[in-house]
């Protein structure tokens, strides 16, 4: 597995932040199969609210180059620290 991601966060007001992200990655059967040209790319916006138990985030990820039958994008909800 290879995963590369970057997220930009901008505090909007109080506990609320706006986000933008780019993710690239893929999974291969073995290390000898890894081909950087096979990386899949997604990107999109998001919103975050800081809570005492950790951040709650909602993202919409756009599939940059969807394969036939794949969604063009979808929402994701996450809870807790990313890293």
pLDDT in tens, 14-42: 999 999 999 999 999 999 999 999 999 99
Report yes or no on 69 lying in a domain: yes
pLDDT (0 to 100) of residue 80: 87
Report yes or no on 32 lying in a domain: no
Domain count, the chain: 1
Report yes or no on 50 lying in a domain: yes
Helix (H) / strand (E) element for 16: namely strand 16-26
The pLDDT tens digits of the residues spanning 29-75 come to: 999 999 999 999 999 999 999 999 999 999 999 999 998 998 899 99
pLDDT (0 to 100) of residue 83: 62
Domain extent at residue 17: 2-27+39-79
Q: Which two tokens stand for residue 40?
A: 């899949």
Report yes or no on 34 lying in a domain: no
Report yes or no on 33 lying in a domain: no
46 has which bridge partners? 19, 59
């Amino acid at each position: 597995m290879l995963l590369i991601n970057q997220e930009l966060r901008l505090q909007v007001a109080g506990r609320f932040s706006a986000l933008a992200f780019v993710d690239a990655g893929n999974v291969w059967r073995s290390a000898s199969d890894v081909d950087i040209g096979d990386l899949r790319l997604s990107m999109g916006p998001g919103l975050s609210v800081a809570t005492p138990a950790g951040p709650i985030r909602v993202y919409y990820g756009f599939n940059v180059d969807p394969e036939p039958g794949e969604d063009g994008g979808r929402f994701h909800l996450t809870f807790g620290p990313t890293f």
